[in-house]
Amino acid sequence: MQHTSLEDQARTLEATGAYRVLRRITPLPLETQVPRDQTRVGLFLDLETTGLDPACHEIIEFGMVPFVYTLDGRILGTLPPFNRLREPSHPIPPDITALTGITQEMVAGKTIAPEEVAQFAAQAALIVAHNARFDRLFAERFWEGFSTLPWACSMEDVPWQAEGYEGRGLGYLVMQAGWFFEGHRAADDCLAGVTLLSTRLPKTQTPALSALLHEARQPRWQIWAENAPFDLKDKLKARGYRWNDGTDGRPKAWFTEVPQAQKEDELHFLKTEIYLREVALLTREITAWDRFSARA
């Protein structure tokens, strides 16, 4: 009797058009043929925390998966991960345990030294997170060295919708790309993120990491709509503007962030549809070194 491999069986099912097969995510074997001077090490980071506010909530799990990539955005493989649990100063809320599976018993007596994180991250040329607006704020509070590194976001910096994907959640994107993993544990999420970035986008056929790097390398501009008419706030919100309450030292105003190529169009929109006059607006250039941080 001739035996076929599980992968052959999966391909046979897929070839019928009646089935879609999801493959379990595993570490990516490292290709070594590319000269080292043509590669960099990226670090995919994911944190599990006791809540959403870095001012009062704490990290309970710290995950990082290093990956080697070429300058044009091809992932060559992954390196051994960093995964540590940490006991917070207050009990883990039940909803966080339900979401992550992390219990108070699991973290009891566990600590993470900033020096451990610093040593592991020393090799990184780029930090990537899925929803970097969340992870960067917590990470920089834990180890200030993260504030000196460029960051990118696998959720925001890849044109998933334009490429035919639905949604932006990591698990859903990974499933649409043909993979599955056990979600909401830090290192597992990191490996899933790297695997997702290693795939080719359906329409352009470029590696997802290449699209992310292109976006991360572009300067962006914060544009502040100070003293905008109150009755137009919904129009600003619908266009993607966010409200800043002024407690962080920045203006109390609506603001947005746009690529360099869209800066003049956005200023024109504000002058012609919001203020209805010429007005000097506060703008600020943002790069990967401060994007997604409290400084931006």
pLDDT in tens, 17-34: 999 999 999 999 999 889
Judged against a pLDDT cut of 80, whether residue 213 lies above it is answered with yes
In 3D space, the residue among 75, 74, 78, 81 whose CA is nearest the CA of residue 29 turns out to be 78
Structure tokens at 173: 């994107």
- Mean pLDDT (whole number) for 165-177: 97
pLDDT at 185: 86
User: Could you give the count of Cα atoms lying within 13 Å of 91 in the half-sphere of its Cβ?
Assistant: 4
Q: Which of 217, 237, 265 is the last residue of a domain?
A: 217
Beta bridge partners of 127: 43, 151
Phi, psi for residue 257 in degrees, rounded to 5: -130, 125
Statement to judge: residues 187 and 231 lie in one domain: no
Statement to judge: residues 100 and 177 lie in one domain: yes
pLDDT digit string, tens, across residues 48-80:
999 999 999 999 999 999 999 999 999 999 999
pLDDT digit string, tens, across residues 80-118:
999 999 999 999 999 999 999 999 999 999 999 999 999
pTM (predicted TM-score): 0.91
Domains identified in the chain, total number: 2
Q: Which of 178, 201, 217 is the last residue of a domain?
A: 217
pLDDT at 208: 99
Q: Which of 217, 237, 264 is the last residue of a domain?
A: 217
What residues make up the domain containing 245? 220-286
Per the domain annotation, does 296 fall within a domain? no
In 3D space, the residue among 189, 48, 207, 209 whose CA is nearest the CA of residue 126 turns out to be 209
Judged against a pLDDT cut of 70, whether residue 1 lies above it is answered with no
**Average of per-residue pLDDT values in the chain:** 96
Statement to judge: residues 264 and 151 lie in one domain: no
| CA 20/CA 29 separation, integer angstroms | 24
Statement to judge: residues 233 and 213 lie in one domain: no
Statement to judge: residues 199 and 65 lie in one domain: yes
pLDDT at 3: 57
CATH number for the domain that contains residue 134: 3.30.420.10
DSSP 83: E
Give the CA-trace dihedral at 92, 98, 99, 100, to 10 degrees. Answer: 60
CA-CA distances (angstroms) from residue 115 to 67, 144, 161, 252?
A: 21, 11, 39, 37
Statement to judge: residues 92 and 180 lie in one domain: yes
pLDDT at 182: 85
pLDDT digit string, tens, across residues 183-195:
778 999 999 999 9
